[in-house]
Structure 1
């Protein structure tokens, strides 16, 4: 009975619950996606996949810091053709588990984004455009910090595929509404916010930055309040579904994002702190809250704005 309380529909797609895996290192393989699905996720998001294989940055690429993690992976991936074989291995099983697949993609320009999206379309339910990675030169935030480039990428992908397209936004901008307006004008079906916040850690004994890339993206508890404010602002300005991401560790965190305006949430760093079944734990905590407050999932989305 409780699980039925969490069913939701986003862009015509039914989800058994609104608690998803965020794009990241836990979506590198089909077996990893399956493990997350077994942990109770309503959807799994793939690692960001490009047209060609990419080794990423040299180690060290991730370090735990106060309040979360700093990472500069550099978008490592085997390329879309090889990665689709990973999805193929588990797609039927994920479908039996009623778990949807979100395909995160990146490219150097609109043509490359569109080509990857077309290859990915048959294997996933939603395309998520990574125009927000803060540590891959020439990719990600290089596009997502520029409204014109963001528009061109989103327009090209929307033209290339028929399934819903969401744009993942970077918080590392002066005016995120300007960027969001550009991608909404280009026709995206929804927004994902936020990607990681630019940061750095220095080893005072070695007297140099810890990450090989020098700087990276901060994720985890430290960025939750930033994410909630961005979701709030997006909900105030746009009439498209929003997926909230950043520092979600509990049902209470997820509810905060939803009351700010998110229709669903994504969890990444939280898996490290609460295990692979964090998705089930968060779902159970949301259900308990809804019962205690005599509310429905639909009612809490944007409730803090009333």
Structure 2
């Protein structure tokens, strides 16, 4: 029997395979395809303090090796999550992590406080790629000062495991990583989507209503791997890697690059059972290579 247990700050998960926010709903949508108890954890869709309708359609576009999305964090708000969704998922035999988003520091604080009161949610993932409306729309996570401000504020009110999700749309992601670690992040998840766009040449118009959107899928994997590897050398906290993971081999590459766990996102739309397949594939890899503890793979890239 191989040991696949991973520690993420104060959170212990049964294996390193998690789902990425925005691609898995609240987990319940996938129960016909996956035994959720086989997964290390699920990260539910982005939750904001107040309900959000999201961006106008069209807000998704397929690309040759992935997809663009500009959904805009559509959700019914934190109160709805606590009162209606949480009772349906509190019993799940896997770690339930809530992705927390906001447009002001005060929004982040209020949402984090609400989620902290839920006993069966052991962690939040702080999405600092959101536009700070008080600063003219620049994302919190693209400057050290912005990242520090929101993480510091949430850390003061949130006592459980705090995972901070980083934007790749920066010059040096290690600077942001070191900043959020210094402000109390227990873990870092990365990468969020890369900024991209798609054009309808016949109509001479952008395909997305917002013109630009977030690129995810296999196309971003080499960038994500590079950023995880660089960041693993810059911080001490565990990293949760994501970006184009579509197989157990992809997941293992992220572990070798320095990630302690991984999240599967876009490929859930291609194969709804892929997460469970990846769990089995990692176990098979460990057996084949005589590895009895998954932690032996973390950062084991040989240069």
Query: Same fold, TM exceeding 0.5?
Result: yes
Output the CA distance in 2 between the equivalents of 1:258 and 1:125: 23
Q: Where does residue 301 of structure 1 map in the other structure?
A: 298
- Correspondence list, 1:81-160, <5 A: 81-94=79-92, 97=93, 99-123=94-118, 124-133=121-130, 138=133, 142-160=139-157
Output the CA distance in 2 between the equivalents of 1:223 and 1:169: 14
Superposed displacement of residue 9, structure 1: 2.3
Q: Which structure: greater helix fraction?
A: 1
Greater relative contact order (Cα < 8 A, sep 6+): 2
- Relative to the length of structure 2, the TM-score reads 0.92
Choose from 175, 179, 197 the match for 2:176: 179
Q: Where does residue 162 of structure 1 map in the other structure?
A: 159
- Correspondence list, 1:1-306, <5 A: 1=1, 5-27=3-25, 29=26, 31-32=28-29, 38-39=35-36, 40-94=38-92, 97=93, 99-123=94-118, 124-133=121-130, 138=133, 142-275=139-272, 277-295=273-291, 296-304=293-301
Output the CA distance in 1 between the equivalents of 2:34 and 2:12: 16
Q: How many residues align?
A: 297
Unaligned runs of 5+ in 2: none
Superposed displacement of residue 35, structure 1: 5.7
SS at match of 1:103: strand
Superposed displacement of residue 264, structure 1: 0.4
Unaligned runs of 5+ in 1: none
Superposed displacement of residue 137, structure 1: 7.2
SS at match of 2:279: helix
Superposed displacement of residue 175, structure 1: 1.2
**43 and 269 in structure 1: CA distance in 2 versus 1, 3 angstrom threshold:** same
SS at match of 1:266: strand
Superposed displacement of residue 30, structure 1: 6.1
Cα displacement string for residues 251-290 of structure 1 (whole angstroms, at most 9, x for unaligned residues): 0000000000101000111112222x21110011111111
Superposed displacement of residue 25, structure 1: 4.1
Output the CA distance in 2 between the equivalents of 1:144 and 1:110: 12
Runs of 4+ in 1 over 3 A off after TM superposition: 33-37, 136-141
Q: Say whether the 8 Å CA contact 1:243–1:264 is kept in structure 2.
A: yes
- Relative to the length of structure 1, the TM-score reads 0.91
Q: Give the RMSD, CA atoms, in angstroms.
A: 1.9
